[in-house]
Amino acid sequence: MFALQQLLSPGQSLVVTDTETTGLHAFTHRIIEIAGQKVTPTGHDEWFSELINPGTTIPGNITRITGITSSMVLGKPLAEEIMPQFQAFLDDGVFVAHNIRFDQSFINAEFERIGFPPMENEGLCSLKLARRLLPGLGSKSLANLSRFFRIQNDGRHRARRDVEITTQVLDRLAQIAIDEHQIASIEDLLQLQSRTYSKVNPLSKHVVEIRKEVLPRLPHRPGVYYMKDARGKVLYVGKAKVLFQRVSSYFRAIEAHPARLRQLIAKVRNVEWAETETELHALVLESRHIKEIDPPFNRAQTKYIPRPYLRIGGSDEFAGLTVQVIVREDGARYYGPLRSRSQAKAIVEIVEKYFKLRTCSSIEFSGGKRCVRADIGRCDAPCEGGIRAREYAQIIESVCSFLEGDIAEVCEWVSADMLRASERFAFEDAAGFRDWIELLDSRVGQYGAVAAPVAGPPTVHLCSASEIEWGTYVLVHRGQIASIEAISPSEDIKLKVRRSFSSNKTASSALDRIQIDARRILDHWLYQNRRKIQTLEMRDDESEDAFTERISETFRTLNQQDSLFAD
């Protein structure tokens, strides 16, 4: 409550209050619970909280809302005893409530019944303040305000808990009033709640100019936008499926935006954009420019995050499975990228448990001394000649098949181990096996493989066209995005396919960080659009012409299906 304390002068106090009642009408219904929190400049807050016997049965609908039953208030003090205590607690403090008219009317009605005059304290309504300070926020209910400010709102509809939430909401509103409206005292805050909207929230000159000069020129197309300050420095880079809709949203209902976004809008003086043919183009371009420019308001994606790959094989005929972050042209097979090192480590653990791959270092292997894994039957000890290279190569092929999506047998082995662990009450071990099964199922479900081979066959992803953007054609060759093309349903895509193949025949399988980042973006985009994407792999015995024809026919069918669904 730092903001509220900052506004209070010595001797001043706020009494944040809430009442629970038997109904909605102050002179026919009664208070059943009242709570108040006295906020002072020193931070030593006091509490008042009491159940009240209303002298009547509490209706069932009120019990369902509040949880207060007639038996809970039976034997509790009457209002004629509690209300004088509350009046003394209130003293000359500012009376605060959310929708102040409701609570004020019930308290004054109870005062009148016991012969007290109505309260004359100044009143501050958090609902009125929210209407002035957050006009763009749809509902100004206490529940919605708590969600907007990310305040935990469990236990609502009990007076004390509602007071706690109201106090936190009021403190956030007070901070906005201090930061954006130069409010310096409680008196200023009391005046602010009664101002008209136009006086509280006049639009900044630069916002008016952007709305008038920039927004009407934005295209209804995908692209990347750049928000700049008065000196032309890029403050923020973003992508949009529809540039007009996305950029315009920043300049509507500004008061309802989170604080950091309001700070951005306060500094923006111009918006520029680069139109792209498809959303995927925009995603890749956005990521690259964020890393190149490093804008101050882009918190995420400012650095290239190393993505792990699995490496197996190479010049060593008895190779193991390792985790690498760089894909080299060294004759080894690479699989990935994987989401994290922990995920890669889990897959390596699964392989090492169920496949007899060596795990020792080259130095240990050259020593020719068997290790513990060989003693427990987890390795066939190639270091001692326990297995020939041809037989070991078959194990490697089994591991590669597993990584490429053949997980049925391994899942059976893991399930059997999970059952055995449960039977001996080793529940932590059983949970670990369960997590392995979930990992394998999710990887194959999302990507068609535990880890896709980098040097796999040329793969094409097709996304149907829409009213907003053209269709998308993506060629992945030797682990990297070889081509992204925008295609319309009416055009013959064969020329684009042939051009993308001919220009990437000599592509390297080594991947730099830009290509790895683009693959990460592509994988996410494929998953997000999985229901409208067709993926085709070039078969071993298939010519380029035949593959091109299959791609063309698939795209034509895909767009016909989508048009049928649209109708």
Residue 123: what pLDDT?
A: 96
Asked whether the beta carbons of 280 and 487 are under 8 A apart, the reply is no
Same domain, 20 and 140: yes
Domain boundary among 422, 447, 472: 447
CATH of the domain at 101: 3.30.420.10
Q: Residue 333 domain-assigned?
A: yes
Whether residue 26 is contained in a domain is answered as yes
Same domain for 371 and 443?
A: yes
Q: Is 50 in the same domain as 72?
A: yes
Q: With respect to residue 452, please indicate whether it lies within any of the assigned structural domains.
A: no
Separation of alpha carbons 316 and 388, rounded Å: 13
Task: Give the span between the Cα atoms of 29 and 338, in whole angstroms.
Answer: 63
Q: CB-based contacts of 90: which residues, under 8 Å, 6+ apart?
A: 15, 17, 36, 119, 121
Alpha-carbon Rg for the chain in angstroms: 34
CATH (domain of 246): 3.40.1440.10
Please give the pLDDT value at position 564. Answer: 40
Q: Are residues 126 and 257 in the same domain?
A: no
Residue ending a domain, choose from 267, 293, 319? 293
Q: Is residue 373 part of a domain?
A: yes
Rounded distance between C-alpha atoms, residue 160 and residue 156, angstroms: 9
Could you tell me if 399 and 504 lie in one domain? no
C-alpha span between 33 and 52 (Å, rounded): 5
| Same domain, residue pair 138 and 235 | no
Question: For the chain, how far is it from start to end, CA to CA, in angstroms?
Answer: 56
Degrees to nearest 5, angle at CA 144 with 139 and 150: 140
- Residue pair 137/148 in contact (Cβ under 8 Å)? The answer is yes
Question: pLDDT per position in the chain (567 positions), as tens?
Answer: 688 999 999 999 999 999 999 999 999 999 999 999 999 998 888 999 999 999 999 999 999 999 999 999 999 999 999 999 999 999 999 999 999 999 999 999 999 999 999 999 999 999 999 998 888 788 899 999 999 888 988 878 899 999 999 999 999 999 988 877 888 999 999 999 988 765 666 667 888 899 999 999 999 989 999 999 989 999 999 999 999 999 999 988 777 778 788 889 988 999 999 999 889 999 999 998 998 888 999 877 767 777 888 998 776 778 888 888 888 877 788 888 888 899 999 999 999 888 888 777 676 666 667 776 776 667 777 776 677 888 888 888 999 999 988 999 999 999 999 999 999 999 999 999 999 999 999 888 877 889 888 877 888 888 887 766 678 888 888 777 888 888 887 777 888 788 887 776 655 666 777 787 888 888 888 878 878 888 888 888 888 889 888 888 888 887 776 544 343
Instruction: Tell me which H or E stretch contains 90.
Output: helix 79-90
* pLDDT for 1: 66
Residue 238's Cβ-count burial label (10 Å; 0-12, 13-18, 19+) is buried
Does residue 159 sit in the same domain as residue 194?
yes
Q: What single string gives the DSSP state of each residue in 391-415? A: HHHHHHHHHHHHHTT--HHHHHHHH
**Residue 332, helix vs strand vs coil:** strand
H and E: helices and strands count for the chain:
23, 15
Asked whether residue 151 falls in the same domain as residue 23, the answer is: yes
Give me the residues paired with residue 35 across strands: 18, 49
Token code pair at residue 214: 């920039």
Residue 166 domain flag: yes
Of the candidates 263, 267, 231, 223, the residue with the CA atom closest to the CA atom of residue 247: 223
Judge contact between 69 and 63, C-beta under 8 A.
yes
- Is the domain of 265 the same as that of 188? no
**pLDDT (0 to 100) of residue 318:** 80
Q: Which of 447, 472, 493 is the last residue of a domain?
A: 447
Structural domain containing residue 488: 459-566
Residue 280 belongs to some domain of the structure? yes
Residue 473 contacts by C-beta under 8 Å, 6 or more apart in sequence? Answer: 460, 461, 462, 483, 484, 485, 486, 487, 493, 496, 497, 500, 551, 555
Closest CA to 17 of 42, 1, 43, 39: 39
DSSP alpha helix (H) spans, 122-200? 126-133, 142-148, 159-181, 186-192, 197-200
Cα separation, 382 vs 349, in Å, equals 20
- Provide the number of structural domains found in the chain: 4
> 96: which strand partners?
16, 124
**383 domain-assigned:** yes
- Do 50 and 194 belong to one domain? yes
Same domain, 41 and 188: yes
Evaluate whether residue 221 is within a structural domain.
yes
Whole-model pTM over 0.95: no
Prior bond of 337 cis (ω within 30°): yes
Tell me the backbone φ, ψ of residue 27, rounded to 5 degrees: -95, 0
Mark whether 396 and 507 lie in a shared domain: no
